[in-house]
Amino acid sequence: MLLSKNSALESKDNEIFEVEESIAIQSELIKTMTTMVNSKAYVNERNQMVPEARCRKQANYHVEQNNKIVDEELSDWESKFFEVDMDDLHELFMAANYLEIESLLNGVTKRVGDFIKACKNVEVIRQTFGINNDFAAQQEEEIRKLNSWNHI
Amino acid sequence: MCVEDRISSFPDPILCHILSFLPIKEAVRTSIISTKWRYLFASISTIKFEGYSMSGLTDRNMDSFKNFVYRLLKSPDQVRLDCFRLSHEICSWNDGDHDFDISGWICAALCRGVKEIELQLSYLDDILPAVLFTCRSLVTLKLDAVGHKFKFPSDVCLGNLKTLHFRDSFFGDSIHRLISNCHVLEDLAFIECDFYNISKINIQIPSLKRLILDFDLGESGGLDYVVVINAPNLVYFQYTDVVAKGYTLSTMKSLEKAHITICGCDTIDSQTIATHLIQGICNVRSLHLTINEEIFRTSRLPIFHNLIEFKFLGRGFSGREIWLMEFLHRVAPNLETLTLNFSVAAGTQWKALEVPSCLSFHL
């Protein structure tokens, strides 16, 4: 039986995280670099773009994900993990996008979808996300006509 | 309090992915948020029309809805569609007055390389286009077709289909043409279905891992067909029917779980036939069986070497279940969990049973 190897990842703020290799390679980016570099511990220079908080969150995410074998436990834990505000979700998204971690990305997008679902109408969506309405009155009217079946 | 607009900086494909999680009404609603959001919904990868999306439709806005669906499905046709789902509420609107072009919608989805189609439709006559059954992109197809009799033409072929579910439909011999041309099929289910005018149900699918044959139990007499299953890699098997004319099953070395319900096993002949089915699943690890327990007295069952869980539903126990002893000692020597469901006649007295010590017993 193979002992799990640990990879050392350095973040932007020069903090080094040791993660089990099987977890580290959940990131497509790291996986590609590992196969190229092939060493037990390496410093990922490009990873210096990722601030410390994000890295720590990812490492936690994967460790916990691997620990939770039972589906119910996992989905409970996942809902709690993503119960953060838009700023944090954005951070998670940037990290998941950069490191190319599909499961994390899916979690973030689902959660943002939940946010949108919870909004009663378009005005509430704009307020929740801080989006500016840049439509001309006529354009808005056009869209409402096309969507008369949807009552927006 | 001023919230910074973080979400608009997400790339468009990610925003489309987010919209795919929403019911279609909510996804379309986002078109009015801002100019950036105006056309995002048009590229969502999942299009689902369920009961909720049909609420609020009236005769007056029906045309606007039909135009919307047409535009949504048709363009942009270079963007791949992952999933297209219609539920039965659509049918209640699809009468002579309104005439939804459901066949056209399905064709449009197929043109966009759709991978998953799920349709709950009644009155399917002429709705399903022939191209549905020659589509190379389909991976999952689920059809719930109240009372529809399927007839498949000779050129059916779904080369990438992994999951095929039918519910509440009738099939003749032409179904075999479809099944034999699904070369990577892993999950096949016939739920509340019936076969007519055939002498053999013939399932020869080496790639199959899950099989459900759940037939209507309306038949009072014996059935006219034999059941032949050659699926050596099956992991899960569910079978519910009146006893057939005969069973031939290939060895299933990987079978984990089986749920078997056979009705009408009242004669020794029918019990012998049912034994052939049970023989075919003798490698299973977990078995839920519902059958006339006479079979244990009249037939010699094979040994279930791998069986660790057995759940049995019988008609009624007399309290002197000698067959159970033989079962525990010879037929299922490695059993760990036994669950018996039964109704007990008043006054039944139980004789003490000698059970192997490692067995956990549930009544």
How far does B10 lie from chain A, in Å, by closest CA? 8
What is the pLDDT, as a whole number, of residue A44?
Answer: 39
Q: Do A135 and B34 touch (CB under 8 A)?
A: yes
What is the pLDDT, as a whole number, of residue A52?
Answer: 45
Following DSSP, what letter does each residue of B143-202 receive, concatenated?
Answer: EEEEEEEE---TT---TT--EEEEEEEEE-TTHHHHHHT-TT--EEEEEEEEE-S-SEEE
8 A C-beta contact, residue B283 and residue B277: no
B39 touches chain A (CB under 8 A): no
Q: Which residue of A110, A146, A151 is in closest CB contact with B68?
A: A146
Does residue B163 carry a pLDDT above 90? yes
Report how far residue B193's alpha carbon sits from residue B182's, in angstroms, rounded to the nearest whole number: 20
A127 touches chain B (CB under 8 A): yes
Report how far residue B184's alpha carbon sits from residue B139's, in angstroms, rounded to the nearest whole number: 9
Selection from B26, B17, B27, B37 nearest residue A96 by Cα: B17
Please indicate whether residue B112 or residue A17 has the higher confidence score (pLDDT).
Answer: B112
8 A C-beta contact, residue B304 and residue B284: yes
Does residue B259 carry a pLDDT above 60? yes
Phi-psi region of B123 (alpha: psi -120 to 50; beta: other; left: phi over 0): left
Contact residues, chain B, for A134 at CB < 8 Å: 34-35
B283 touches chain A (CB under 8 A): no
Residue of chain B minimizing CA distance to A131: B5
**pLDDT 10s digits, B270-317:** 999 999 999 999 999 999 999 988 888 888 889 999 999 999 887 766
Phi-psi region of A144 (alpha: psi -120 to 50; beta: other; left: phi over 0): alpha
Q: Which residues pair with B237 in a beta bridge?
A: B211, B258
What is the pLDDT, as a whole number, of residue B298?
Answer: 85
Q: Do B21 and A149 touch (CB under 8 A)?
A: no
Of chain A residues 11-70, which have a CB less than 8 A from chain B?
Answer: none
What is the pLDDT, as a whole number, of residue B22?
Answer: 86
A82 touches chain B (CB under 8 A): no
Report how far residue A53's alpha carbon sits from residue A47's, in angstroms, rounded to the nearest whole number: 13
Specify the 3-state DSSP secondary structure of B142.
strand
Peptide bond before residue B76 is cis, with ω within 30 degrees of 0: yes
Q: What is the ipTM score, two decimals?
A: 0.71
Q: Do A143 and B30 touch (CB under 8 A)?
A: no
Burial B195-210 (b: 16+ CB within 10 A, else e): beebebbbbebeebbb
Q: What is the reported pTM?
A: 0.80
A138 touches chain B (CB under 8 A): no
Q: Which helix H or strand E contains B85, and what residues bound it?
A: strand B83-86
**pLDDT 10s digits, B211-251:** 999 997 765 555 789 999 999 999 999 999 999 999 999 99
Measured CA distances, A24 to A43, A44, A62, A68, A91 (Å): 13, 12, 8, 17, 19
Report how far residue B274's alpha carbon sits from residue B272's, in angstroms, rounded to the nearest whole number: 5
B33 touches chain A (CB under 8 A): yes
Contact residues, chain A, for B54 at CB < 8 Å: none
Strand bridging mode B140-150 / B187-195:
unpaired
Q: Which residue of A121, A135, A151 is in closest CB contact with B56?
A: A151
Q: Do B7 and A131 touch (CB under 8 A)?
A: yes
Measured CA distances, B203 to B175, B230, B251 (Å): 10, 6, 14
Selection from A103, A91, A94, A121 nearest residue A66 by Cα: A103
Q: Which residue of A143, A144, A150 is in closest CB contact with B25?
A: A150
Q: How far is CA B172 from the centre of its chain?
A: 18
Which of B7, B17, B100 to mutate to test binding with chain A, by most A CBs within 10 Å of its CB? B7
Give, for all 152 residues of chain A, the pLDDT tens digit. 334 456 666 555 555 666 666 666 666 666 665 554 443 333 333 343 344 445 555 656 655 555 544 455 666 766 777 777 777 777 777 777 777 777 778 888 888 888 888 888 889 989 888 899 999 999 999 888 888 787 76
**pLDDT 10s digits, B164-208:** 999 999 999 999 999 999 999 999 999 999 898 899 999 999 999
Q: Do B32 and A143 touch (CB under 8 A)?
A: yes
Q: Which residue of B5, B32, B61 is in closest CB contact with A149?
A: B61
E strands in B216-326: 226-230, 236-242, 246-249, 257-263, 286-290, 309-313
Residue appearing with tokens 């609107």? B93
- In eight-state DSSP terms, residue A144 is H
